[in-house]
Amino acid sequence: MSSRLLSGRYELLEKIGDGGMAVVYKGKDKLLNRFIAVKILRPEFTKDATFVENFKRESQAAAGLSHPNIVGVYDVGREGNINYIIMELIEGCTLNEIITEEAPMDYRKVIDISKQVASALRVAHKNKIIHRDVKPHNIMITNDGVVKLADFGIARAVNDATLSTGNKIIGSVHYFSPEQARGNYVDERSDIYSLGIVMYEMLTGKVPFDGENPVTVALKHINEEITSPSELVEGIPPALERAVMKATNKYQTNRYSSADELIEELDNIDFVTKVVGNSVFVQASDVIEKRNQRKKVMAEEEEEEAPKKPEKKKNKKKKIIISVALMLLIVAGGLIVAWQKGVFSPTKAAPDFLDKTIKEAEVLAEEEGFKIKKGKDVYSSEYPEGRICIQDPEPGTETVKGGTITVNVSKGSKEGMVPNVVGMQEDDVEALLKEYSYKLGNVKWITSPEKAGKVLEQDPVAGTKLDKESEINIVVSDGKGNEKGTVPSLTRQSLEDAKKAIKAAGFKVGNITYEWSDDIGKGYVMWQQYQANSMLDMGTSIDIEVSSGPEPSPKE
């Protein structure tokens, strides 16, 4: 790549991601004046016809899909030996990042995310596209909470959806369906299995199968049973757990037959949790399960009795009436229990009791119409001793007015444990450190787009065991934006010299690729991602391409 401009239109600004087949850059469409994502096939694969074909297949598959829950594709092109896709730039984060921070996640959030991913799969499947690589890394969450499925890099038309055992395993084996692991026929239900594994990870914080290498994990998908999520985490609605276990059944025929069927099931669960409440979820979810079983039985009865004499219809009608009456009785029973438990009472957002004493919380609870129940005393490096550090339900959660909120109180940090000050304002840090018997050390201000005064780093990090009265150093944002640096000239320098120049200028060494060259000596830089003397945010990674020397002549 000789410049930062593709096809005279797409300007590459910075690398924002790496994939197995491609590198993703943040770019700008100079014609439409909008920011974009540019996915470029790695140089080492441009000579591999199979990889290029897979890349083209991704382009064609994704470009034909248009849906709010699918990352949009704007353009597909090739310039020289560069194959690229112009995509929607997502301002947000991956589901993988959210799982890392929040899991085990609230089941309501799991339902919401799962429904949106299933909606994306529904559109893809109706267009005869199997994603084949549904995993948290390929699921983006925008800053507005919209879920978008990305990277149809190994998608293939349904008619070609067979992997032979001799083919290379593609995708993340932790989310593989058993049929993918075997190299057998793959269809829409394979994507549903992978989504089921994602749901499992959101609910528990763990993937069901792990191992030392991909082969071990693949064999577990084939041979071992999944541990029920409720054995790992309490409070998961039974119907949601059943949905996860059905989606991840080892046999395709036992899973949901389509994304539509999974969405319908999640809608039912979502409705019951909102209307009836989790306190009587077992009764309500059992109603749904029994209703579905009765539907199946009634359908079988209709099949059996269709060829019989007309007078048998009377018996069938009686059975249906009895079944409906029984269902109504069960529903009524569930609703009576719900009424007795007060789940139809007015709801209100739970107050924020964090960082308050028990007495302060009791006063606030009485004002807001709630009750306080003291739970456990726990260690906390974030909240001082005697302050509430955890509450259930969490602040802002819709809760039955008059209900009880359980709070855990901080015992302070463990002896000699450094508290977390990252994210705090610099003015508040010294007081917090004093509560933990530490002192504020060196304060370094750096140029950053974060709010002025926000603590970006601390040394030592939170949780470190450290003697009392020790100093904690912090790095603070000045709020002036990203600090700029001048890109050094790297071409025709040795690889080692180029690395040193990049680091000395305040940047990071990015992706290093190699290419044959008759003009540039072996081991010397022949291309750099950003033009020399241009201005760039400090800390940005700079990719370079290094000469492998002249291409060897083919042997006679």
Residues in the chain: 556
Q: Which of 58, 56, 14, 57 is nearest to 38 (CA)?
A: 14
Nearest to 128 by CA among 83, 161, 105: 161
DSSP at 542: E
**Does the bond joining 229 to the residue before it have cis omega, within 30 degrees of 0?**
no
Running DSSP on this structure, what letter comes out for residue 453?
T
Token pair of 463, please?
A: 């949780």
CATH 2.60.40.10 fits 426-477, yes or no: no
Instruction: Classify 453 in phi/psi space as left (phi over 0), alpha (psi -120 to 50) or beta.
Output: left
226 φ/ψ angles, rounded to the nearest 5 degrees: -80, 135
Structure tokens at 311: 């007078």
Q: Report how far apart the first and last C-alpha atoms of the chain are (Å, whole number).
A: 32
- Residue 525's H or E segment, with its range, is strand 525-528
Distance CA 91, CA 144 (A): 9
C-beta separation of 426 from 474 below 8 A: yes
- Of 11, 241, 2, 254, the C-alpha closest to 110 is 241
- Model-level pTM greater than 0.85? no
Active site residues: 133
Same fold flag, 426-477 and 484-547: yes
Query: Residue 37: which of 205, 181, 150, 183 has the closest Cα?
Result: 150
Write out the two tokens for 525: 């830089």
Number of CB atoms found within 10 A of residue 216's CB:
12
Structure tokens at 404: 């009880």
Q: For residue 537, which of 486, 490, 491 has the smallest C-alpha distance?
A: 486
Q: Mean pLDDT for each 10-residue chunk of the chain (556 residues)?
A: 72 81 86 89 70 67 79 82 85 89 90 94 87 89 88 48 36 82 82 95 92 83 88 89 92 88 88 56 46 54 50 53 58 53 63 91 90 83 82 81 86 73 88 85 85 88 81 88 84 92 91 87 91 85 91 67
Residue labelled with tokens 């304002």: 425
Asked if CATH classification 3.30.200.20 holds for the domain at 5-87, the reply, yes or no, is yes
Pick the CATH number of 92-275 from 1.10.510.10, 3.40.50.620, 1.10.10.10, 3.40.50.300: 1.10.510.10
Q: Where are the beta strands (DSSP E) in 81-232?
A: 82-87, 92-94, 129-130, 139-142, 147-149, 156-157
Q: Tell me how many degrees the CA angle 213-215-219 measures, rounded to the nearest 5.
A: 125
**Which CATH topology does 484-547 take?**
Trypsin Inhibitor V; Chain A (3.30.10)
Spell 104-116 as b/e; 16+ CB within 10 A means b.
bbebbebbebbbb
Domain residue spans of the chain: 5-87, 92-275, 282-340, 347-410, 426-477, 484-547
CATH class of the domain defined by 347-410: alpha beta
Q: Which is it for the CA torsion 48, 168, 83, 58, positive or negative?
A: positive
